[in-house]
Structure 1
Amino acid sequence: MTLEPLLDASLAIRLHVAVVLPAALLGAYQLMGPKGTRGHRLLGKIWLVLMVATAFSSFFIHSLNMFYGFGPIHLLSIYVLYASWQAYAAARRHDIAAHQRAVSGLYYGGIVGAGVFTLLPGRIMNAVVFTGHEILPLVILAVAALFLGWSAWRRRVGEDAR
C-alpha cells in the first residue's frame, strides 16, 4: 500500500478522495447509529454536503474520457446530486421511508458501488491499495462491505418488525 499514486494525481482527484473518504465513514456510522436524534440530523447534513462535494468534484476528473471528457461514472454523479436533494427533502417533510430509500441508494450506490470500481486495475486507487500485490486490503474491504450490508439489513428487518 502506498499513497504515491494519489499524491501524484491531479488536484481534482485528491479533492475527490478527501471528501469521499469521510463521507464513507460518516455514512456507515449514520446507517448503523440511532436515527432521528439531533446528532443524526446534524451529521446527516454534513454527510449530504460531503456527498454533493464528491459528486461535483467528479465532474473535474476525466480519466474515463468517453464523451467530451465524461464517462459513465458521471451519470452516477448526477444521480448523487438528485438523490441528495431527495434525501434532504424527504427528511424535511418527515417521509422517513423515502428518506431511507434515498440515503441507502446514495450510500450503497454512490459510495460502496462506485468505490469497488475504483479498485479495478489501471485505476489510481488500485495502485494505492494493491501496490506490492497485497491481498489483505481487498479482504478487509470485502469484509467491511459485507458487514455494512448485513448491519443495514438487520436494522431494516428490526424496524420492519416494529
Structure 2
Amino acid sequence: MSFAPLFASPGPVVLHAIAALAAFALGLVQIVAPKGTVPHRLLGWLWVAIMAFVALSSFFVHEIRLWGPWSPIHLLSIGTLFGLAAAVYAARRHAVRSHRNAMIGIFVGGLVIAGGFTLLPGRIMHAVVFGG
C-alpha cells in the first residue's frame, strides 16, 4: 500500500479521498458507540459535515465520464446529500428508527459502495491499495 498515487492526483481528488477515509473511520466509531449520548451527537454532527464535504467534493472529481463530466457515482452523492438531510430531520424529531436507517444507508451507499467503485482497476485508490 502506497499513498503516492493519491498524493500525485489533483487537489480535489486528494481532499475528497482523505475526507471519505475520515468519514469511514468516524462512521465505524458511530456505529459501534453508544447511541443518544452527547459524544454521539457531537460526533454525529461532525460526521454529517464530513459526509456533506465528501458528497459535494465529488462533483469536482471527474475520473469517469459517462454523461459529460458525470458518472453514476455522482448519483450516490446526490442521494447522500438528500439522505443526510432526512437523517438529521429524523433525529430532530426523535424518530430513532428512521434516523438509524438513513445513517446506515448513507454509510453503506455513500462510503462502502462508492468506496468499492474506487477500488476497480484503473482507479487511483486501486493503485493505492493494490499497487501500480
- Report TM bin, short chain: over 0.9
One-letter identity of the residue aligned with 1:35 = K
State the Cα distance separating 1:65 from its structure 2 match: 0.9
**What is the TM-score when the length of structure 2 is the normalising length?**
0.97
Are 1:97 and 2:90 matched, yes or no?
Answer: no
Dislocated runs of 4+, deviation >6 Å: none
Q: CA RMSD in A?
A: 0.9
In 2, Cα distance between equivalents of 1:3 and 1:129: 8
In 1, Cα distance between equivalents of 2:25 and 2:8: 24
In 2, Cα distance between equivalents of 1:67 and 1:115: 20
2:40 corresponds to: 40
Relative contact order (alpha carbons < 8 A, sep ≥ 6): 1 or 2 greater?
A: 2
Mapping of residues 15-94 of structure 1, within 5 Å: 15-94=15-94
1:157 corresponds to: none
Greater gyration radius: 1
**Where do 5+ consecutive residues of structure 1 fail to align?**
133-162
Mapping of residues 2-21 of structure 1, within 5 Å: 2-21=2-21
- Percent identity at matched positions? 48
**Where do 5+ consecutive residues of structure 2 fail to align?**
none
In 2, Cα distance between equivalents of 1:108 and 1:7: 26
**What is the TM-score when the length of structure 1 is the normalising length?**
0.80
